[in-house]
Amino acid sequence: MSEITLKSGSILLLGVNHTTAPIDVRERLAIPISRLADATRTLAHQPGIREALILSTCNRVELLTVSDAAESPLSPPLGMLRFLHDYLNLPAEEIKPHVYEFREREAIRHLFRVASSLDSMVVGEPQILGQVKESWNVAREVGAISSTLDPLLQRAFSVAKKVRTETQIGSSSVSIASVAAELARKIFGSLSGKTVLIVGAGKMSDLAARHLIQQGATTLLVSNRTEARAEKIADSLRTPAITTGVIPFNQLHEQSHRADIIITSTGAAALGQAQIFTAAQARALLHRRRNRPIFFIDIAVPRDVAPEINNLEGCFVYDIDDLQQVAAQNQAVRSREAEAAETIVTREVELYNDRLSQAPAIEAIKQLQLSAEAVRQQELARTAQRLATNPLTPEQQAAIEALTKSLTAKLLHSQLSALRTPDDPTK
Amino acid sequence: MSLLWLRVAVLLYGIAALAVLPAALYSRPRWRHVALPAALAGAFFHFVSITETLYAAHRALPVDTHETLSLLGLLLAAAFLILAAKYKTVSFGIFLLPVVVLLTLVPAFHPGHETIAYPFIRTGWLLLHIVLLLAAYAALFLSLIASLLYLIQERRLKQKRTPRRTWLPPLETTDQIALKALLFGLPCMTAGLLIGSVVALQTIGATFFADPKVLLSFAMWIAYVLMIFIRQHSGLRGRRAIYLSSFVFLVVLAVWSANLFSAVHRFRAP
């Protein structure tokens, strides 16, 4: 297919992302959401730029524009470079090595890939679509996008939705904390009303607890050898929607039946102490819970939870290796699904290109038909005026109407056919 | 005409049973949009067929085995639709819908010709007796399937196999479904048996209690109550819950097959 050039302008995308620019460059380019409207407006007002949109996230900054006329693929995007220089106070030479540039079809493809989360650091992560939508909203509010970028962005959203529904790209978690939360959902369904107990203190257990709270867990208990430390953790995780509490470490086994999910990260065995939960203790725990399932997330190395507890009916034990293994499997699934998603994007780009390339012809056909109809109406009116003294009967009027319509259609036929098949060299 | 509707229902149930496989096992939501409307339309035509059959026969009761099986199929299809609406899962359809197809296939292509000659054939109480007991059977079957799904999901989680596509509902959901189905089935079974006993006492007399089917039915009720008590009291789940449900299900099958030896439930007039 030939490269398209829009009648309404030329699409150009300029940007940096996590693969092309180090964080210090991305930091200098990043535009906070509070300034996004102003930045978009400024970019749209650059000479030669008709429409503009800015996408700024922690992993990418991209400027998407439609210029007044088709630019040569070799000509530098002056308006965008001026924007970078004036608005962000960045010399073009400084960022040039990190910048990628896509034009026309490749710009459309890149936008579809970004919205579908195929260009993300974690492929399949869902946040990027929301961020693109946010940029689109801002650009619409400031009037920076219209006939070209608005439908293009809407198409990008439907492509992203298609990728989500037709592939499994976002269906599985790839971080340890989110894997733990996903497993908890497989056991308990909704985590609403569930109680999480953190035993020990650690960054990972804190992160896992936060994920579980995000998924709906409403009560958080903390138990630590140092009670003050436990209280500190409980305070840091307390919100109006979360009830927190501290279990004294010496009462852990008496009270742990209150928890549905237990996250352990003490590493007590490394200090020569016994494991925190043995099979006998787990049995007693299950008995107190009347066999309601319990999920142990053992992040400690050496392990805090005896692995044989997993053999007890109703007990599920996942240690750090298990969680990592699940995360790796999910990552592999995402990579496989990404291939299917790329195929969808390629197909959608082709379809969108086809639609764009047909747009001028459709417009020309419409204009031709309108002008022919205007001439026809004009001639009919003139004839009616001439025959004013001896007016036509309704049957005669209908016959003339049909005759003129047929004549117009036949006269236009060859021109319309030529417009409908523009690639035919004989026409 | 009623047979035609029943055959349409079988076809729709068949489509639903096939479509539910990719919808549940491969998480393909488009197939869900085929399975659910097909099952819903199947249930509608099934209902029309049963109503038309009874109306044409000037009676309110499904009297032969085929009609009863067909009614049980309709109840199971309704159970599938209720679960899909309430728990947003079509996984139960993998097991329920093929059974529904089988239960309706025979009446659709080999309709029964048995009749019953008792004077109470038009009584609404007997209809209630039949529908309530069938609902109890359907609930027990549903509970058995839920326990089975619980067991499969529990094993997967314990073996730390993380299937790419998770077609199984969460453990707690299947457990709730299993228990709620049993709790729904108990009053149905109790009321169904009581109504049947009262009607039979009035029409047949005390000999009714010597009937093998009646005796087995009361044994079934006791087993049902015991099962619920054990599940509720000890929080029985997983493998042992499956064993218990299977045992009660076997009792139900025995009750069903006791029709062959029953004087009360014999379909041909004595």
Q: Give the pLDDT score at B244.
A: 83
Cβ-proximal residues to A138 (8 Å cutoff; 6+ apart), any chain: A36, A37, A40, A54
The answer to whether B122 contacts chain A (CB < 8 Å) is no
Decide if A291 and B237 are in contact by the 8 Å CB cutoff.
yes
> Do B170 and A318 count as a contact with CB atoms less than 8 A apart?
no
Rounded Cα gap, residues A365 and A362, in angstroms:
5
Which fold would CATH assign to domain A176-326?
Rossmann fold (3.40.50)
| In chain B, % of residues over pLDDT 70 | 86
Stated pTM of the model: 0.68
CATH number of A10-166: 3.30.460.30
Integer Rg of chain B from CA: 19
Taking CB atoms and an 8 Å cutoff, what residues of chain B touch A186?
Answer: 153, 157, 166, 168, 170-171
Side by side, the strands of the sheet bearing A60-67 are A49-56, A60-67, A10-17, A100-103
**Listed residues B58, B91, B115: the one ending a domain:** B115
For residue A103, the number of C-alpha atoms closer than 13 Å in the C-beta half-sphere is 16
* The total number of residues written for chain B in this structure: 270
Of B115, B137, B162, which one is at a domain's C-terminal end?
Answer: B115
- Asked which of A317-321, A404-408, B37-41, B263-267 is least confident by mean pLDDT, the reply is B263-267
Minimum CA–CA partner of A172 in chain B: B164
B152 with B85, same domain: the answer is: no
* Closest A-chain CA to B236: A291
Residue A189 touches chain B, beta carbons under 8 Å:
yes
Q: What is the per-residue pLDDT across B52-81, written as a single tens digit (0 to 9) for each?
A: 887 776 666 666 777 788 889 999 999 999
Nearest to A13 by CA among A141, A134, A149, A146: A149
Residues B108, B206 within the same domain = no
Residue A188 to residue B169, Cβ atoms within 8 A: no
In this predicted structure, the answer to whether residue A294 has a pLDDT above a threshold of 80 is yes
Q: List active site positions of A.
A: 58
Interface test mutation site (partner B, options A169, A290, A312, A320, max chain B beta carbons within 10 A): A290
Q: Which of B165, B166, B171 sits opposite A293 (nearest CB)?
A: B171
Q: In the prediction, which pLDDT does B122 show?
A: 53
Q: Is A59 on the interface with B (CB under 8 A)?
A: no
Distances (CA, A) of A80 to A40, A70, A206: 11, 15, 43
User: What confidence tens digit (pLDDT) does each residue in A341-389 have?
Assistant: 999 999 999 999 888 877 777 778 888 889 999 999 999 888 888 888 8
Query: What residues contact A168, with CB distance under 8 A and at least 6 apart?
Result: A333, A334, A337, B27, B164, B165
What residue numbers bound the domain in which B150 lies?
119-270
- Across B46-57, average pLDDT: 84
Query: Are B128 and B257 contained in the same domain?
Result: yes
Of A249, A303, A250, A309, nearest in space to A280 by CA: A309
Strands A60-67 and A49-56: antiparallel
Quick: pLDDT tens for A307-351.
999 999 889 999 988 988 888 888 888 888 899 999 999 999 999
Q: Is the ipTM of this complex over 0.85?
A: no
> Could you tell me if B123 and B96 lie in one domain?
no
Average pLDDT over residues B154-163: 81
Chain B residue numbers touching A183 (CB-CB < 8 A): 157
Q: Locate the domains of chain A by residue range.
A: 10-166, 176-326
- For residues B151 and B270, membership in a common domain is answered with yes
According to the model, what pLDDT value does residue B29 have? 76
Give how many domains chain B has, as a whole number.
Answer: 2
SS3 A173: coil
Domain boundary among B115, B149, B174: B115
Residues B202 and B239 in one domain: yes
- Count of CB contacts below 8 A, A vs B? 60
B256 and B127 belong to one structural domain: yes
In whole angstroms, what is the distance from residue B176 CA to residue B197 CA? 32
Cβ–Cβ gap B236/A291 under 8 Å: yes
Instruction: Return the higher-pLDDT residue of A153 and A386.
Output: A153
Residues of A in contact with B172 (CB under 8 A): 187-189, 293
Bridge partners, A317 (sequence order): A296
- For residue A293, list chain B residues with Cβ-Cβ distance below 8 A: 171-172, 237
